[in-house]
Structures are given as C-alpha cells and as structure tokens.
Structure 1
Amino acid sequence: MQNDTAKIAVRKFLIKSRTAKNSGTSLPDFYSYSLAVGDGSGYEFSTAHEGRITGIRVWEYSSSQITGIQLMYDGNWTTPVCLNYGTPQEMTLLDNESIIQISGKHYYGYIYELMFVTSQGRSLKVGQPYGDSFNFYPTHDGTLPDVFSYSPAVGDGSGTEFSTASEGRITGIRIWEYSNNYISGLQLMYESNWTAMVGVNYGNLMEMKLYDKESIIQISGKYDSSYIYELVFVTNQGRFFQVGQCRGVSFNFYPTQKGSELRFLSGRQNGWGITSIGAHWALIRNYATLVKMIY
C-alpha cells in the first residue's frame, strides 16, 4: 500500500502533551506523554511551539497513509511535518476548546488513521481503518484517572468516515434496518437535538429514548465482510435496544473505566449502509474537572 510518490511519508507519530496549571504562584509545568506508535524510521519531528493549539491540518495520500500534519498555535501555523501532498482536512478549534484525545491506526511503515477529539465533543477523523489501533489521552502527574476509552472499529470499513460527536449527553438512538438485512443508517440525540443522519434513512426505523440519568454502557452486535448486521445497546438501567439480524461475526464494546458511558460513535458508511463502527466512552462527570485541572 506504499506509493512511490509518497515514499517520505510520516513514519513515526509522536505526541507530547504539555499542560500548565496557573495559580499566580510559581508552579512546575505538568506533562504527560503517550508513547509513540509506528515503525519509527526516518527523521524525528516535533510540533512544539508557544501558545495553545487552535487548529489542525492532516494530509492523506490517495485513500492510503497519512503523509503530513500541521498544527496552528494561537493563529500561527507550524511548518508542515513531512509532505503537504494528497487530500488535506482541517479543523479550527473554538474558543476554550482543546484536544483531549487522539486515536487511530498504524501498520508497519506508516500511520494510516488519525482522529482528534476535543473538549467540546467535536472530532476530526482522517485516513483509513487499516492496521493496529492506538488511543492517546492525558494524565496529570499520575493523579487523574483515565477517563477516556475507545472500542476499535469492526467491519469492512469501506466508504466515507463518520462521527456522531456532539455537545451534551446522549438521550436517544435511531437505527434503520434495510429489509430485514443490514443496518442502513443511524442517528443519535444529544440532549434534545438529533445529529445528522449517518448512512441512509431507508428501511425499518426503530427508536429508543433514554430516561433521566440513563446512559449507554455496552454495545454488541454482528458484522460480516460488507456491513454491520446487528446492533444491541445496553443501558445502566438494565434496558436494551436491539436492531438487525443475527448474521456474521460477533463483537462487544464496553468502556474500560467504571462509570463511563457512550460519548459518540465513529466508523464508515458507503451510501447504502454502515460498513464499520467503533465506540468512544468517557466518564462524563469528570469532563469539566479534567479540563480545569489540565489547563
């Protein structure tokens, strides 16, 4: 999958999270480091710069590996890392918004997928679901619990990427099933607002509204080489919502931290149905505390 025109692609992805706590007194800076993943050949790089990160650009070469990255600090873009060749995708952060999680895929010589998640529930996802999964999130001098976890996507993964990330807590689910066959579309409600449709709203529609203080704590189902065929959502109040057919390989998603709940779904859809799906979990009540303590 390596291409002659992009031989000098990003071979090592290294994230150093620098956080500072300002209290008017002289305090040391607090750091945490998510260990680098990937082959690690080629030249070292660092995007370290003064100020706070306010934007991200990522280049992907022809539906293949990540070829370049660039960060903006307080309105100023850093020098591009590696090549600004291929298809760029960009996200500008809002006021008081920060990056709190990075996940993705790597395989042998390259990074193939990157997903940045912000403190306001937004995300930027670039690349292909190819290779081994990784998940980066901050700690604070070892004193904060790990509040984020990611259940890596299952399924073929063809088509266009999606993410349901939005502000607020999940309060409802809609799933469309095509003619007693595969899952054709899905939609989540955050607070009282439905997200944009993922896939197509064609076929049999089933819907579940969550009660006050109810949350999704487990997702299971079935998939085969083409589509997701079954989805089962389980809540912390013992209720469940099941849609689809018992066909294919089984999967089971759940958070790694006690008390966490579903934050958003990501994956791919090809215009006919959902081809892959993964789950992102968080300890919601710690969001504000986490951001306040880190920054």
Structure 2
Amino acid sequence: MWLWILVSVCAITAAQQRRPSHSGEHGSPDGERFSQSANKLDGQITALRVRSNRRYISGIQVRYGAKWSKYRGGKSGDQKEILLNPGEHISQVKGKNTSVIHQLVFITNKGQEFSFGKDIGTAFNSSSPIPDTYLRYISGSSDTGINAISFHWDNPNSNCDHCEE
C-alpha cells in the first residue's frame, strides 16, 4: 500500500513538473490568428527579430534552432535582431498593450534584457509558474502590427529530438 502511494505521488509530481503553461493573451484578438507551436520542433528559441514604429510593435519573427518562423505583422518601423547565447533562454516577458502591443521586454535566464517598442499602455508581466521552464513559442494575432500575443512555457528541450539535454 505504501509503495503504491509513493509511486503515485512521484508520478503526479513528475507530470506537474513537465506540464507546459502559457500566459496571455495580451492585447486585442483582432487580426489574423497565428501560433508557432509547430516551430518548437525545430529547436529552442535562439534569436528574435522585432519591428517597431513610433507607436507599437509592428512585427515579430522567432528563430527556433537554425530555422526562422514565418514573419508576423506589418512592415512599418525599424527592425532589431537579438541572438541568444548557447544555454540562454527567455525566462520572462514584460510589456505594454492597449488594443495593440506597444512594448515587449524579453529577459533571459542570464540576466540580459532586450527592449522593443514604446512605453505606452497597460503593463503586463509574463513568466512560467513552473521552475526551470522557459519560453518555447508564441501565439497571437496580427495585421499591420501585433494586436495580441501569448507566451507558451515549457522545458527548453521538450518536443525537440535534436536539442541538447
């Protein structure tokens, strides 16, 4: 009986630690819906391209492993690209939104902060409630800009056959 209870508790604990989570949706659901859930099969997030103009985040593209996702959003404003170092993961995303995303600040497990856009709107702060999980992919909606965004958190090597353990 005690062995059965111990095995059950261990199984439940392991399942809870492996469970992915998400935070958001921040912004407005207007526009074309997108999800990059399939992109996580290409590897961990290794780089980001974010385009912003004087008012809002106009576009985003994420590199999973060595492969870039489809670009989402519009073409106005300047684009910046950030590269993550080996072993570096996005552990938190802060930002500001109204009916569009105005600002995104990506924070890594190594303490780096990458800020895009303008300090306008209602603040949000997203991170995983589960220890040792990081940003695995994004979803949301877009048209001429990023209208809404959600962040999906999991173990950095989940669902990836060729990621380093």
Q: Same fold (TM over 0.5)?
A: yes
Tell me how far 1:152 sits from its aligned partner.
2.4
1:149 to 21, 24, 27: 21
2:46 to 171, 187, 208: 171
2:34 to 133, 149, 162: 162
Matched, 1:215 2:89: yes
SS of residue paired to 2:50: strand
Instruction: Determine the structure 2 residue equivalent to 1:272.
Output: 144
The answer on whether the counterparts of 2:106 and 2:113 sit within 8 Å (CA) in structure 1 is yes
1:227 to 81, 100, 107: 100
Cα displacement string for residues 94-148 of structure 1 (whole angstroms, at most 9, x for unaligned residues): xxxxxxxxxxxxxxxxxxxxxxxxxxxxxxxxxxxxxxxxxxxxxx941424221
Q: When the two structures are aligned, how many residues end up with a matched partner? A: 147
Tell me how far 1:285 sits from its aligned partner.
3.9
Q: CA RMSD in A?
A: 1.8
Cα displacement string for residues 202-236 of structure 1 (whole angstroms, at most 9, x for unaligned residues): 31111100000000000010001x21000000001
**Which runs of 5 or more structure 1 residues have no equivalent in the other structure?**
1-139, 289-295
Cα gap change, 1:254 to 1:210, in 2 (>3 Å): same
Whichever residue aligns with residue 181 of structure 1, its letter is R
The answer on whether the counterparts of 1:171 and 1:211 sit within 8 Å (CA) in structure 2 is yes
In the alignment, the residues of structure 2 paired with residue 260 and residue 184 of structure 1 have an alpha-carbon distance, to the nearest angstrom, of 28
Cα displacement string for residues 169-221 of structure 1 (whole angstroms, at most 9, x for unaligned residues): 0000010012x111110000011111110112331111100000000000010
The answer on whether the counterparts of 2:44 and 2:157 sit within 8 Å (CA) in structure 1 is no
Alignment of 1:188-267 (within 5 A): 188-224=62-98, 226-267=99-140
Q: Bigger relative contact order, structure 1 or 2, given CA contacts below 8 A and separation 6+? A: 2
The structure richer in helix per residue is 2
The answer on whether the counterparts of 1:257 and 1:283 sit within 8 Å (CA) in structure 2 is no
Whichever residue aligns with residue 215 of structure 1, its letter is H
**Which runs of 5 or more structure 2 residues have no equivalent in the other structure?**
1-9, 161-165
Percentage of pairs with the same residue: 34
TM superposition score normalised by structure 1: 0.47
TM superposition score normalised by structure 2: 0.83
